Homo-oligomer: A and B are copies of this chain.
Amino acid sequence: MRSVKVKLGKRSYDIIIGKNIISLLPRYVKKLNMGDSAFIISNPYVRNRYSQGLTKALNKGGISSKIKTIPDTEKSKSILTLSEAINSLAKFDLKKRVFIIALGGGVVGDLSGLVASVYKRGIPYIQIPTTLLAQVDSSIGGKTAVDLREGKNLVGAFYQPSLVFSDVSLLESLDPRQLRAGLAEVIKYGIIKDSRLFGYLEKEYKDIVKLKTWALEYVVSASSKIKADIVGRDEREAKGIRTTLNFGHTAGHAIEAAADFSSYTHGEAVALGMLIASDISLKLGLISGNLNARIEALINKYGLPVTIEGVSLRAIMKAIYRDKKFSGEKNKFVLIAGLGKVKIVENVPFKVVEEAISNRIK
């Protein structure tokens, strides 16, 4: 079992990473004085597979619970689902001290955090992420949100959990494509911050894709450390530090949007976005051809795409310039100047961006 701290003064919290650790949860709930009844938000798949173990453990610890299930699709990240969950919580909340457990992936985590943030102006919540992507990324950092028709994550709050419980045994049943989506973010952490993690991913490929516990524990804790450190230094994305996490996300989001959020998973789009960012870094003379090749090889090794299919250059360029990360006409890319060295560059020439994307289209 490993533990990583997110340092945010009074709002600091621990990320606990290990195998079959669910039974330890009530001990933490008590230590943190979180409450005596748990409102669990989950999705149908995870509920069927894991909720019994969780409610049993809670029961043993004297904590009553109720489960609210929401569909596991981006459509659930709506004000309607939020409102339903809040109403269900209010009916459950019988003057006991209630807290929330988010048991699921990013959709469940984002929505649950927002429910916790607004109910009674803020009650405690625990993240129990059940996908690799959620364990290494979305469960850490307190970004909660639902979508509007006008755009993703437009309604939300910065609201930190009291605890993140990353049980790597929950990853055993993960669909390979979902595993790869999480690995894309792990690769990102290696590229932007941790050459040791990058090397580990190159070497330990087999154990990772075979979901060996020690390998997953290392990957999740190394990634969590990086995310925790960045969040601790720039919680509200106000200082440009948290922005470094957007490596691969500018082009990635554009590809995702241009493909109508259907043909690529977020992780696959980010993999393509990282390649494009790496290609641009190479073109601007910031990195060597050797590093660029290592990045491509690693992404390819984990079964993530290295070429764009079924999306036009025009559609991607259009989406890039609609991105909220661009203020006015200026573009801004998170690039690299070596392994583990991020460099944010404004006003990358239009031609360079276009060429980099174009070269990746099959």
Contact = CB atoms under 8 A, between A and B. Distances in A.
Contacts of A149: 87, 90
A234 B21 CA distance: 38
A175 interface: no
A118 B118 contact: yes
Contacts of A95: 324
A145 interface: yes
Nearest to A121: B156
B154 A90 contact: yes
A271 B324 CA distance: 50
B148 A121 contact: no
Interface string A309-327: 0000000000000001000
Interface residues of A, number: 31
A155 B119 contact: yes
Interface string A98-139: 000000000000000010011111100000000000000000
A158 interface: yes
Contacts of A265: none
A249 interface: no
A157 B118 contact: yes
A257 to B, nearest CB: 16
A75 to B, nearest CB: 15
Q: Which of A82, A118, A143, A236 has the most CB of B within 10 A?
A: A118
Contacts of A31: none
A86 interface: yes
A349 interface: no
Contacts of A83: 79-80, 83
B118 A148 contact: no
Interface of A: 79-80, 82-83, 86-87, 90-91, 93, 95, 114, 117-122, 143, 145, 148-151, 153-158, 236, 324
